[in-house]
Structure 1
Amino acid sequence: MATIHLIRHGQASFGDDNYDQLSAIGWQQARVLGQWLAGKVQPDVVIGGDMQRHRETVEAIASGYRTDFPDMQVASGFNEFDHAAVVHRLKPEWADRERMQADLQTAEKPAKFFQQTFVKAVDRWASGDYDSEYPETWLQFKTRVQQALDDLVDWANGGEVFVSTSGGPIAVILQSLLGISDQKTLGLNEVIANTSVTRVLYSGRRRSLAVFNNYSHLEAEGPEMVTFR
Structure 2
Amino acid sequence: MGQIFLVRHGQASFGKANYDQLSELGYEQARLLGQWYANTHQSFNKVITGGMARHRQTADTCLAELPKKQLLDAEWITDEDFAEFNHHEVLLRHCPEVADAVAFKALLASHVDPPRALEHLFRAAMQRWMSGWHDGDYGETWPDFRRRCVRALERLDTDSSKQTTIVFTSGGVISALMQHLLGLQDFQVMELNWTLANGAVTKLLQRPGQFTLSYLNNYAHLEWLGQPGAITYR
For 1:91 and 1:165, how far apart are their aligned partners in 2?
A: 26
8 Å contact from structure 2 (residues 159, 208) kept in 1: no
Q: How do 1:70-219 residues align onto structure 2 when only pairs under 5 Å count?
A: 70=74, 72-154=76-158, 158-219=162-223
User: What letter is aligned with 2:35?
Assistant: Q
For 1:40 and 1:208, how far apart are their aligned partners in 2?
A: 23
8 Å contact from structure 1 (residues 58, 72) kept in 2: no
1:76 deviation in Å? 0.2
Deviates more, 1:89-98 or 1:79-88: 89-98
User: What letter is aligned with 1:35?
Assistant: Q
Unaligned runs of 5+ in 2: none
For 1:176 and 1:21, how far apart are their aligned partners in 2?
A: 29
C-alpha spacing 1:80/1:117, structure 2 compared with 1 (3 Å):
same
C-alpha spacing 1:155/1:76, structure 2 compared with 1 (3 Å):
farther
8 Å contact from structure 1 (residues 145, 173) kept in 2: yes
User: What letter is aligned with 1:185?
Assistant: V
8 Å contact from structure 1 (residues 8, 164) kept in 2: yes
> Does residue 228 of structure 1 match 2:233?
yes
Residue 12 of structure 1 corresponds to: 12
1:156 deviation in Å? 6.2
For 2:52 and 2:37, how far apart are their aligned partners in 1?
A: 23
8 Å contact from structure 1 (residues 158, 204) kept in 2: no
1:179 deviation in Å? 1.0
User: What letter is aligned with 2:231?
Assistant: V
Q: TM-score normalised to the size of structure 1? A: 0.95
Unaligned runs of 5+ in 1: none
For 1:154 and 1:130, how far apart are their aligned partners in 2?
A: 37
1:66 deviation in Å? 4.1
For 1:194 and 1:94, how far apart are their aligned partners in 2?
A: 23
RMSD between superposed Cα atoms in Å: 1.5
For 1:66 and 1:76, how far apart are their aligned partners in 2?
A: 27
For 1:155 and 1:13, how far apart are their aligned partners in 2?
A: 39
8 Å contact from structure 2 (residues 31, 62) kept in 1: yes
Residue 63 of structure 1 corresponds to: 64
1:222 deviation in Å? 3.3
1:67 deviation in Å? 2.6
Q: TM-score normalised to the size of structure 2? A: 0.93
C-alpha spacing 1:116/1:155, structure 2 compared with 1 (3 Å):
farther
For 1:49 and 1:156, how far apart are their aligned partners in 2?
A: 22
> Does residue 27 of structure 1 match 2:30?
no
For 2:138 and 2:159, how far apart are their aligned partners in 1?
A: 31
Residue 42 of structure 1 corresponds to: 43
For 1:196 and 1:156, how far apart are their aligned partners in 2?
A: 25
